[in-house]
Structures are given as structure tokens and as C-alpha cells.
């Protein structure tokens, strides 16, 4: 297990531990599977021309350890031995997404058993992924931004208004019916532990699992108009809601489909358009539907807030305790701060997973 303390003087040593520890050695992926999913959500414009704005180095190959279950090649995405991970891809956060994938593979004992589901609203990103991870198991799903754009209201930060932020609401519809569970991850994080441990989370009777933060001031996520109107605040009656960050979730897609949670979230977004019951993008609808009904996951799996607040993006320390995932939620992203030569101390822990290189 990797333990990271809060003392700044240890950052260099910690970086060496993450990069060099024998327990975190690389093992390489498997056959890439091309996207062919076509339905109401997937109108993927075809284009073979690689984008010219980005170039990423090729990652080393990662192979399964000897005790990993043999993958059923004939089952493809439906193989029961797979760990399913969903991440969005867009040009602004592509560098972060590539680093996240790199970190997952590097720390996985069975990297060839991880299947990535990439959600996109732009074309030409598949070739970039394939250039860095030529043997990666993955599939690209086109999310039409017009599906959700009319339901999005203004937020405290413009980046939170992007339609792709809402694609996770539609995972149960976009992914194949045989995919019954998925780990959803934001693009601004790195995993420094075996993703299979998170995959094995016991959800019990719950639809989603996530680290909860019950000490946080839950009332601030909704407007006074929300709390003063029983039609809205009554949604939490009988529950003990706690804040959770939607950037790291284990989702039971089978249960999600059976209840129809996508439609429930959409109804709250429609309420927001008419009554302004929250200020913070795609998070509050998830809180409205699931807060108080979340399977708890150890805090080590989402050391969030490393990007500072939603305005200044100031430097932050880690929460006390062990770390399995570092998450730069907030406005400050490590790649921007590193490039500007004004990094926060913890940004140096993200840097070893960065595969970005300028096109020549």
C-alpha cells in the first residue's frame, strides 16, 4: 500500500516511491477494440485524419501478472473477467485523460483485463489514444451534446457547463447491456493503486458507491430557494445526505437501468432551469438522487480538491491517511500549472504519468 504524508519535505521521496516501487511496476495491455456502437446517443462522425494539435509518446507495454484470470477473447466487451472504466475525452482535458489511463495501467496487476469506455463529443481522438496505447482494450462512444445542452443551466465556472460533463448520466444507455458495472473516473486524476480493488467494491443494495464526506456543509450545494421550498428540499426526507464527489464512482448499471435514474436526473435538471435550485453544474442532480443512498468507499480512493477552489485554483494539501487516487478537482489542473512553471507541490506526483509531447 502507498502512504503519502502531508509534509512537503517528503514529496521527492514520495515521487520516487510511486515511480520506482517494485509493487508498482508495469505490466502491458491487450488488443484494442474499435468503436461500432450506433444508437440514439452515438452519431460518431467518421474521420481518419489524426489531430495535429497534440502528440503523445507511446507508453510501455503492460502485461498481466501470472495469477490474472485468462481473458475470453471471443466475448469482447462482454467478457466477465474485465474491469470496466469510463472516462471522458476532449481536447481541453485530453492530456489529463491520457495520464489517468497511464496511471491505471502502471499500477494494475491485470492491466490486460481493464477495458476503457471513452466518452467523446469531438472526433479524431481515437487515433491519439491508440498512438500511446496500441494494445489497449477500449471503445469510443460519441455523446451528442445536443441531448443535454437544452437542460444545462449556468454555473459558477464555465467549464462546469460543458455537455460532456453530463455524459456520465447516460452511461447505462450508452454502454452495452452486458456491461453491468462500471467505474466512472474524471480526467484530472491519477490512480496509484490497483484499480481491481476499487472494482470489487460491495455496493449491496445501492446503485452507486463513492467516498462520502459527511463533515462538509451539505446545504451550500443548493440555493436558499431550494431549502425554503418543501417541494424541493423534501427530496431528502428520510435520508441522511452527505456530500460525495462524482468524479470517482462505482456504478451498478443494471440497477440504474431498472430504475431509470437517467430520467430522474433529467427531471431535476428541468426543475433547475425554471427554479434555480443550485449553482454547481452536474453535481447537484446526483446529490438530489443519490445523497444518503451511496455505498461508502474509503476516502483513499478520492483524495480530491487538489485543483483548489472553482475560482483561484490554489494549492491544497492531501487529507490525512493513505492514498490510492489523487484528484485535481477544482479549477487548477497540474498540466497547466506545470507548463506555466508555477506548479503546486503535489503536481509533481502527476508529472510521471504525463505522456504529452509537442507535435513537430
Look up the CATH number of the domain holding residue 277: 3.90.550.10
Work out the angle at residue 336's Cα, subtended by the Cα atoms of residues 331 and 340, and round it to the nearest 5 degrees. Answer: 125
Name the residue with higher pLDDT: 159 or 30. Answer: 159
- Is 338 in a helix, a strand, or coil? helix
- Is 119 in a helix, a strand, or coil? strand
The answer to whether residue 23 is domain-embedded is no
pLDDT at 51 over 70: no
The answer to whether residue 227 is domain-embedded is yes
* 19-44: pLDDT as tens digits: 334 333 333 332 233 333 333 343 44
The whole-number pLDDT of residue 154 equals 74
Q: To the nearest 5 percent, what fractions of the chain are helix, strand and coil?
A: 40, 15, 50
> Which of 4-8, 74-78, 337-341 is the least confident region?
4-8
How far is Cα 211 from Cα 250, in angstroms, rounded to an integer? 10
The answer to whether residue 151 is domain-embedded is yes
The whole-number pLDDT of residue 123 equals 84
The answer to whether residue 349 is domain-embedded is yes
The whole-number pLDDT of residue 25 equals 36
Work out the angle at residue 286's Cα, subtended by the Cα atoms of residues 155 and 200, and round it to the nearest 5 degrees. Answer: 130
The length of the chain, given as a count of residues:
360
The answer to whether residue 46 is domain-embedded is no
pLDDT at 103 over 50: yes
Q: If pLDDT is split at 50, 70 and 90, which confidence band does 344 have?
A: very high
Name the residue with higher pLDDT: 267 or 38. Answer: 267
How far is Cα 155 from Cα 355, in angstroms, rounded to an integer? 31
The answer to whether residue 316 is domain-embedded is yes
How far is Cα 46 from Cα 41, in angstroms, rounded to an integer? 15
Residues 54 and 128 sit within 8 Å (Cβ to Cβ): yes
In the chain, what is the greatest distance between 2 CA atoms, to the nearest angstrom? Answer: 59
pLDDT at 70 over 90: no
For 341, residues 6+ apart whose C-beta sits below 8 A from its C-beta are none
Q: If pLDDT is split at 50, 70 and 90, which confidence band does 60 have?
A: very high
**Secondary structure (H, E, C), 261-286:** HHHHHHHHHHHHHHHCCCCCCCHHHH
The answer to whether residue 43 is domain-embedded is no
Joined grid coordinates for residue 186: 474524471
Number of domains in the chain: 1
Joined grid coordinates for residue 291: 445523497
The answer to whether residue 155 is domain-embedded is yes
Joined grid coordinates for residue 262: 437517467
The closest of 96, 111, 102, 115 to 181, measured between CA atoms, is: 115
Q: If pLDDT is split at 50, 70 and 90, which confidence band does 98 have?
A: very high
The whole-number pLDDT of residue 310 equals 63
pLDDT at 331 over 50: yes
CB atoms within 10 A of CB 337: 19
Q: Return mean pLDDT, the chain.
A: 85
* 166-225: pLDDT as tens digits: 999 999 999 999 999 999 999 999 999 999 999 999 999 999 999 999 999 999 999 999
The whole-number pLDDT of residue 188 equals 97
Joined grid coordinates for residue 183: 467505474
For 223, residues 6+ apart whose C-beta sits below 8 A from its C-beta are 276, 277, 278, 279
The closest of 27, 193, 183, 179 to 110, measured between CA atoms, is: 27
Q: What is the average pLDDT across 112-137?
A: 94
Range ranked top by mean pLDDT from 151-155, 162-166, 246-250, 327-331: 246-250
List the domain range (segments joined by +) for residue 212. 77-353
pLDDT at 47 over 80: no
Amino acid at each position: 500500500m502507498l502512504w503519502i504524508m502531508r509534509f512537503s519535505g517528503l514529496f521527492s521521496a514520495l515521487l520516487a516511491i510511486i515511480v520506482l516501487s517494485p509493487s508498482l511496476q508495469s505490466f502491458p495491455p491487450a488488443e484494442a477494440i474499435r468503436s461500432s456502437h450506433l444508437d440514439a446517443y452515438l452519431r460518431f462522425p467518421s474521420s481518419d485524419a489524426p489531430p495535429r494539435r497534440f502528440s503523445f509518446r507511446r507508453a510501455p507495454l503492460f502485461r498481466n501478472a501470472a495469477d490474472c484470470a485468462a481473458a475470453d477473447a471471443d466475448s469482447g466487451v462482454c467478457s466477465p473477467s474485465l474491469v470496466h472504466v469510463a472516462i471522458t475525452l476532449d481536447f481541453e482535458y485530453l492530456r489529463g485523460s491520457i495520464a489517468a489511463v497511464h496511471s491505471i495501467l502502471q499500477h494494475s496487476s491485470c492491466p490486460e483485463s481493464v477495458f476503457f469506455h471513452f466518452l467523446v463529443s469531438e472526433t479524431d481522438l481515437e487515433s491519439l489514444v491508440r498512438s500511446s496505447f496500441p494494445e489497449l482494450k477500449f471503445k469510443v462512444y460519441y455523446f451528442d451534446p445536443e441531448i443535454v445542452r437544452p437542460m444545462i443551466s449556468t454555473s459558477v465556472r464555465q467549464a462546469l457547463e460543458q455537455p460532456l460533463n453530463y455524459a456520465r448520466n447516460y452511461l447505462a444507455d450508452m454502454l452495452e447491456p452486458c456491461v453491468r458495472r462500471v467505474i466512472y473516473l474524471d480526467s484530472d486524476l491519477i490512480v496509484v493503486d490497483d484499480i481491481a480493488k476499487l472494482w470489487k467494491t460491495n455496493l449491496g443494495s445501492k446503485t452507486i458507491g463513492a467516498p462520502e464526506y459527511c463533515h462538509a456543509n451539505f446545504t451550500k450545494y443548493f440555493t436558499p430557494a431550494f431549502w425554503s421550498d418543501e417541494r424541493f428540499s423534501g427530496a431528502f426526507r428520510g435520508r441522511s445526505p452527505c456530500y460525495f464527489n462524482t468524479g470517482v464512482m462505482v456504478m451498478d448499471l443494471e440497477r440504474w437501468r431498472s430504475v431509470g435514474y437517467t430520467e430522474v436526473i433529467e427531471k431535476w435538471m428541468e426543475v433547475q432551469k425554471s427554479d434555480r435550485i443550485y449553482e454547481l453544474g452536474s453535481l447537484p442532480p446526483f446529490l438530489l438522487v443519490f445523497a444518503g443512498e451511496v455505498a461508502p468507499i474509503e476516502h483513499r480512493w478520492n483524495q480530491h480538491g487538489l485543483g483548489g477552489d472553482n475560482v483561484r485554483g490554489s494549492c491544497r494539501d492531501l487529507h490525512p491517511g493513505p492514498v490510492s487516487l489523487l484528484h485535481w478537482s477544482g479549477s487548477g489542473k497540474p498540466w497547466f500549472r506545470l507548463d506555466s512553471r508555477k506548479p503546486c507541490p503535489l503536481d509533481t506526483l502527476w508529472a510521471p504519468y504525463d505522456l504529452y509531447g509537442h507535435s513537430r
